[in-house]
Structures are given as C-alpha cells and as structure tokens.
Chains A and B, each alone.
Chain A
C-alpha cells in the first residue's frame, strides 16, 4: 500500500496525510437553521390527519405499539335520506391526538388506516419546551396535512396503481356504453383489455 511499507512511522505519516487532506476539503456540515436541509421525498417528519376521511374505526389507535393515539368520538343519528327509510347512525370525531413524545415514527397507523386519513408530512420543527405540549390535537394535525407533499411519481416501468386502473376501467365502460347507445354498432375495438377482465 504505502510506498515504504517497512519504514517505521510510515503508518503515522499516512494518518497525518489523511487528516491534512480532509482539512483542505470543503466540509459537509449543513448550517441547519440558516439553510434548510434537503429532505428525502418520503421523510417521516410528523403524522398529519386528514380528518374528513376518518371514520373513527380505531384501527390506528389499536395498532399503535406505543399507544400514543387518543381518539374520542360519539355516535350521531342521521335522519333517513329518503322518506320511509331507516335512520343511520354515524361516528363523529371529537378528539384525535397523537402524543409525539411517545410516538416512535413506525408508521403503522398510516399503513393500517383503511380510509387514507393519516399521512407522513416532512415537517419536523415542532419541538416544544414541555413534554406535555408534544401531544398534538386534531387541529394541529389537520394543519400539517397542508404540508404533505404529493406522492412521488411512479417508476417508469411500474405497474399501474390499482385505483387508477379501476377508475379507468369504469370510465371506459361508461364511455363504451355511451358510445353504444346512440350508435347501433358495438365497439369491440373500444377496449379489448377492459372486456377481458
């Protein structure tokens, strides 16, 4: 490795050379408060709540390993939509809070949410001076929703997302029906793929 492997002290000199070279290079330290860090697209900064989607199914609270999600709700009766119909009951969210002093940012709540009410936000500057103030309520969580970035683009050769495929299939079907009604001849050329499945 070294030009003089047997020479005593060559190892010491090599070490000195390494540190000297490092000193002449530009340091990689980011001056954080002055310059914002470049965050990765899926940064796990904080959990935002899209409360319009929440149905108080409690899955997130139950799956949370730290038990850091607090949910209160009550039932509300919705009068029947059609005359003679039955009244429906519906869950109304009273409180949704996450204690970020307990949260370990595992993201299980976000994974299990069946209605896409929880999202990762890259926002990370929410330090508090009191640990109790780290329990953030639904209004704060809702505000963080605005900082959730659009999902990153798919890989070029990726499979089409299921919901998009389903939506397009329905749209195609509707279009085909619409096309079939005024025009007598059916269109097998319209979408053979859609007919297959």
Chain B
C-alpha cells in the first residue's frame, strides 16, 4: 500500500512539473524575447507584468472549435498530438534532479537510452500530423521533420555515448554519481553537439525549417486548432525542458555544484536547466532560420565529425587515466 502511494505521489509530482515548467519556459520566452527586441511583451493578463498570459492562452485554446479537415485521416489526425506530447512526459519521469532515490521519478538502468529513444518517438507525432492533415504544407512540414530527425539523431546519440563512455554507465543517476568537475572541459564539445542537435530535434529556431511559417504556414500543425494545437505547443515547450534537463544531467553535472551539496542539489539542477532554457530562447531571438541544405550540411559535415572526435578524445583520456 505504501508503495502504491509512493508511486502515485511521484507520478503526480512529475505530472505537475510537466504542466508547470513548460508554461514557465513559455512565459519566460514571451518576456525575454520581447525585451531582446526592445518591447515589453504581455503586460495585462493577471495584472503583474502579464504573468497569466499563458493561462489566458490556454483558456482561449479550450474555447476554440476542434476542426478536423474533411479530407484528413481522422483517427491519425486526432491521435498525433498525444503521440507528440506523451514521450516528453515519460522522459521527465527518468530525469534525476537531486541525489538519492527521492529525487527521480523512476531509476532506470539504461536511462540514457530510454530518454533518447522516447524523445525520438515524439517526432512520430509530427510525422503523423503532417501526413494525416491532407494538406500539402503539412506534408512538406512532415517531410522536413523526418529529414531533420534523421540527420540530427546521430550526433545526439554519439555525444551521449561519449558521456556514457566517460562514466562507464548508461544510467543517468550513475553518470551523475561519477561526475567530476573536470568533465566539463573534457566533454564540452560533446555538450555543444548534444545541445545543438537537441535543438534541431525539437525544431526550435534557428532549426525551425519544418514549421517555417513564412514558407509552409506552420508545417505539420497547419490544420490543427484549439486544444490539439495547444498540445503541440505544449510538447514543444516540454521538449525544451527535457532537452535542457538532459543536457544538465549529462554534461553539466546535474546536482553537483560549488557549494550546498547537501539537500540543495535539486536547486542546482533547476538553476542549470533554467540557464539552458534561457540560452534556447536567446538563440531563437538572435539567429535566422537555417535553410534546408544548410541544416543538413551542419549536421553531417560538422556535428557528426565533432561528436566522433569527442568520442575518440573520451576514449583516449579514459584509457590514459585508468
């Protein structure tokens, strides 16, 4: 009975985090982007600096009509948002935010593989949406999504493999237990490759070719309205949280910090994740969208070789120090 209660409590906490953190990231994006562009951003909803803007947006989405195009494949069309969103919820379950059993939803033996595998599944939602919408812009968006995923999955995996080699384990908790501060400079190339490839997998600007609004309207999500559209947006922001959390855990040492190791580890994790989320927003504001060929070229000619070089470096250092 106690076990059941424990599991239920953990699931509930993860679910609440899953619902709140993406909204916080979204609101931060509103405000940070506005100020980076010399604007103020939302100011009215909720009274104080528009803190409730996303709540208002959610209410608006809930009121909208849920339209399924006449020519669409109804069932696949309706299923797609769930397929896009649920994987990120599962990933969040495996991310440790602090030392010890209490600070992770579920300890997994092959955590790195689990996380990367499930994140890759999320892209299926975009593909389903793109195909089922019976819209050429959606189809183009789906195609671009698939091409982008195929190009960037590889460097991401290789970069993660480098860390796994360094730690000698593929468990997320194990990696963090083995972490030393000098891993930071050691794995910095891998970290950058991982982060950039993750951005591309999330289709965040400057890698937002699949949803390029000036060319193909909104890519795979063109035909979506109301709550289903909101779910896709939520998936994007949940993806940011997951990517930043994962980069923190794999490369930045998670709960390790210069001080406050006892009991305050989770603060470090959240802090690092927040900084990375800020970087995600910052990159979005600053850089223009990459063209499709530039996108592919960046992955195959820069990120993959860099990741391979990182693996080689990791292997050499590992052999030398052992």
B 130-160 to A, binary, CB cutoff 8 A, 1 in contact else 0: 0000000000000000000000000000000
Chain A residues with CB below 8 A from B282, complex form? 16, 19-20
A19 to B283, CA, bound (A): 9
CB distance from A31 to the nearest CB of B (A): 7
Is A19 a contact partner of B38 (Cβ separation < 8 A)? Answer: no
Is A181 at the interface (CB under 8 A from chain B)?
Answer: no
* Closest Cβ neighbor of A34 among chain B residues: B43
Given A23-B32, A27-B34, A28-B38, residue A16 in contact with residue B286 (CB < 8 A): yes
A 55-80 to B, binary, CB cutoff 8 A, 1 in contact else 0: 00000000000000000000000000
A 1-29 to B, binary, CB cutoff 8 A, 1 in contact else 0: 00000000000100110111011010111
Is B35 a contact partner of A23 (Cβ separation < 8 A)? Answer: yes
Contact count band on B: 10 to 19
Is B40 a contact partner of A18 (Cβ separation < 8 A)? Answer: no
> Which of B35, B39, B283, B286 is A18 in contact with, Cβ under 8 Å?
B286
Is B36 a contact partner of A20 (Cβ separation < 8 A)? Answer: yes
A187 to B54, CA, bound (A): 83
Is B285 at the interface (CB under 8 A from chain A)?
Answer: yes
Chain B residues with CB below 8 A from A12, complex form? 286-287
A18 to B39, CA, bound (A): 15
Specify the main secondary structure of chain A where it touches its partner.
helix
Chain A residues with CB below 8 A from B32, complex form? 23
CB distance from A20 to the nearest CB of B (A): 7
Given A19-B282, A20-B282, residue A27 in contact with residue B287 (CB < 8 A): no
CB distance from A24 to the nearest CB of B (A): 8
Is B38 a contact partner of A29 (Cβ separation < 8 A)? Answer: yes
Is B286 a contact partner of A19 (Cβ separation < 8 A)? Answer: yes
Is B37 at the interface (CB under 8 A from chain A)?
Answer: yes
Give how many A-B residue pairs fall within 8 Å (CB-CB): 33
How many A residues face the partner with a CB closer than 8 A? 13
> Which of A15, A16, A22 is B35 in contact with, Cβ under 8 Å?
A22
Chain A residues with CB below 8 A from B285, complex form? 19
Is B38 a contact partner of A25 (Cβ separation < 8 A)? Answer: yes
* Closest Cβ neighbor of A13 among chain B residues: B286
Chain B residues with CB below 8 A from A16, complex form? 282-283, 286
Is B286 a contact partner of A27 (Cβ separation < 8 A)? Answer: no
A23 to B285, CA, bound (A): 11
* Closest Cβ neighbor of A8 among chain B residues: B302
A33 to B111, CA, bound (A): 53
Chain B residues with CB below 8 A from A22, complex form? 35-38
A 21-55 to B, binary, CB cutoff 8 A, 1 in contact else 0: 01101011101000000000000000000000000
Chain B residues with CB below 8 A from A20, complex form? 36, 282
Chain B residues with CB below 8 A from A25, complex form? 38
> Would you give 15 A-B contacts (Cβ < 8 Å), ordered by A?
A12-B286, A15-B286, A15-B287, A16-B283, A18-B286, A20-B36, A22-B35, A22-B36, A22-B37, A22-B38, A23-B35, A27-B38, A29-B39, A29-B40, A31-B40
User: Top 5 A-B pairs ranked by shortest CB distance?
Assistant: A19-B36, A29-B40, A15-B286, A23-B35, A23-B36
Kindly list 18 other residue pairs between chains A and B, CB separation below 8 angstroms, not including A15-B286, A19-B282, A23-B35: A12-B286, A16-B282, A16-B283, A16-B286, A19-B36, A19-B285, A19-B286, A20-B36, A20-B282, A23-B32, A25-B38, A27-B34, A27-B38, A28-B38, A29-B39, A29-B40, A31-B40, A31-B43
